[in-house]
Amino acid sequence: MTWIRTSPSLALIKYWGKQHRRLNRPATPSLAVGVEELHSYCRAEMIKDNTAEDQVILNGSPVTVERFSPFFEYLKKDSGNAGISFHAESRNDFPTAAGFASSSSGFAALALACEKALNIEPDRERCSRWAGRGSASASRALWGGFTELKAGSLQAHPIHGPDYWPELRLILVETSGSEKPTSSREAMEQCRRSAPGYSRWLKDSRINFREARSALDRQDLEELGSWMQRSYMGMFSLMFSLPRPILYWLPESLELIRLCAGLRKKGIPAWETMDAGPQVKILTTEKDLPAILRQLKERDRPFKLRVSHIGGKPEECRSIPEGNVL
């Protein structure tokens, strides 16, 4: 059986908060890039038996079906297939549920693998909606390159291909390989319910998105970076202000944020962002990579680093390359 390979969709402007919980529609618009270097692999089989349960084996272990049931229910309804179930196997070659957006690549790969198992005409927009029901960020992982997901929408759109801004690079800094204690789903719901600045966040997110989109269209990294910063800092401000604050950051995360600020003072573009986890991702250019990597490697206990192009277009592959899966 062929594997589908996808890459995580890393948000430069964050989706954080749901407009509609059951339909999994985001409350804020997001702007994202595909991370070429990281991969999820998935293959699925369709079983013509409605008494059989849907099954997902993730990195070799069965996962609780509740996390996947809204996805499978929607997919079956939307494709007009009631009496079937799916058996899927999925693997990541990077830490799962640790803040590297594994659910975005995971659900995108699952949607494409189920489409293939159904043997129907390929349709990226439809797969984007299916994936988005599982994890809203996954709706963006169907294209690679630069994508956007509007507030209130389940379906993302490609805005620029992977080659649009070829000098851009991402440095992915792994501060911890552990799974996060609070899921992004749970954390954003707590923010919606209890963060004092939530309605302000909804307004600011629209501005962050509009300005970042314009900076992207002008290929202005400094401007894009400054809007990226407002977006992720705004998202974490919500979490810090909760009655029971959610702290995804580690001391190393703050160390890296300060390191990027220091580099920018010297005129080196190092624009960091973070998601629901302690990892730090730095957007920069190919030319500036050596200076940033040198500084990152100067530490006594070096971080695990990966450098990635912008890309991540889904592909089919016969096998998973050896040594690629953790």
CB-wise, 136 or 168, nearer to ligand PMV?
A: 136
Question: Per CB under 6 A, does 133 bind ligand PMV?
Answer: no
**DSSP code of residue 38:** -
CB-wise, 86 or 209, nearer to ligand PMV?
A: 209
Residues 6+ apart with CB under 8 A from 3: 41, 42, 43, 113, 316, 317, 318, 319, 320
* Shortest distance, position 132 Cβ to ligand PMV, whole Å: 8
Question: Per CB under 6 A, does 142 bind ligand PMV?
Answer: no
Cα–Cα distance, 96 to 109 (Å, whole number): 14
Are 26 and 133 in contact, with CB atoms under 8 Å apart? no
CB-wise, 11 or 173, nearer to ligand PMV?
A: 11
CB-wise, 242 or 289, nearer to ligand PMV?
A: 242
Query: DSSP states of 131-200 as a string?
Result: HHHH-GGGGGTTT-SEEEE-TT-S--EEEE-TTSSTTEEEEEEES--SPPSS-HHHHHHHHHHH-TTHHH
Among candidate residues 83, 95, 135, the one with its CA nearest the CA of residue 111? 135
Question: Per CB under 6 A, does 136 bind ligand PMV?
Answer: yes
**DSSP code of residue 310:** B
Question: Per CB under 6 A, does 40 bind ligand PMV?
Answer: no
Question: Per CB under 6 A, does 14 bind ligand PMV?
Answer: yes
Residues 77-116 that bind ligand PMV (CB under 6 A): 101, 103
Are 205 and 157 in contact, with CB atoms under 8 Å apart? no
CB-wise, 31 or 260, nearer to ligand PMV?
A: 31
Question: Per CB under 6 A, does 273 bind ligand PMV?
Answer: no
Residues 186-205 that bind ligand PMV (CB under 6 A): none
Contacts with ligand PMV, residue ranges (CB under 6 A): 11, 14-16, 30, 101, 103, 135-137, 184-185, 275-276
